[in-house]
Amino acid sequence: MAHRWKNDLSHGDVTPEHVYLNRRQVIAGLTGAGLAVAADPLSAETLEPNSWEEITTYNNFYEFGTGKEDPAKYAHLMETDPWSVKIDGLVDKPGDYNFQDILSEMTVEERIYRFRCVEAWSMIVPWNGFELADLLAMAGVQDGAKYVAFETLLRPSEMPGTAYRTIDWPYREGLRLDEAMHPLTIIATGIYGKPIPNQNGAPLRLVVPWKYGFKSIKSIVRITLTDNEPPTSWSTLIPGEYGFYSNVNPKVDHPRWSQASERRIGGGLFSKRQPTLMFNGYEDEVASLYDGMDLAKNY
**Interface of this chain with other proteins, residues 70 to 129, rule: CB under 8 A:** 119, 121
Stretch that binds other proteins, among 23-31, 38-46, 102-110, 268-276 (CB under 8 A): 268-276
List Cβ neighbours of 273 (8 Å cut-off, separation of 6 or more).
Answer: 261, 262, 263
Question: Cα dist. 176→137, 146, 149, 274 in Å?
Answer: 16, 6, 9, 30
User: Does residue 68 touch other proteins according to CB under 8 A?
Assistant: yes
Stretch that binds other proteins, among 3-11, 65-73, 91-99, 124-132 (CB under 8 A): 65-73
Query: In the chain, what is the straight-line distance between the N-terminal and C-terminal CA atoms, in Å?
Result: 31
In terms of CB distance, is 53 or 105 closer to other proteins? 53
In terms of CB distance, is 197 or 203 closer to other proteins? 197
Determine which residue in the list 15, 43, 166, 226 makes contact with other proteins, applying CB under 8 A. 166
SS3 for 220? strand
Angle value at C-alpha 203, between 248 and 285, nearest 5 degrees: 30
User: Does residue 240 touch other proteins according to CB under 8 A?
Assistant: no
User: Does residue 13 touch other proteins according to CB under 8 A?
Assistant: no
Cβ of residue 243: shortest distance to other proteins, in angstroms?
Answer: 15
DSSP 296: T
In terms of CB distance, is 185 or 235 closer to other proteins? 235
φ, ψ for residue 70, nearest 5 deg:
-60, -45
CB-CB neighbours of 209 under 10 Å: 25
CA distance 209 to 58: 18
User: Does residue 269 touch other proteins according to CB under 8 A?
Assistant: yes
User: Does residue 57 touch other proteins according to CB under 8 A?
Assistant: yes
Which residues contribute to the site for other proteins (CB under 8 A)?
50, 53-54, 57-58, 62, 66, 68-69, 119, 121, 164-167, 237-238, 253, 255-258, 260-261, 263, 265-266, 268-273
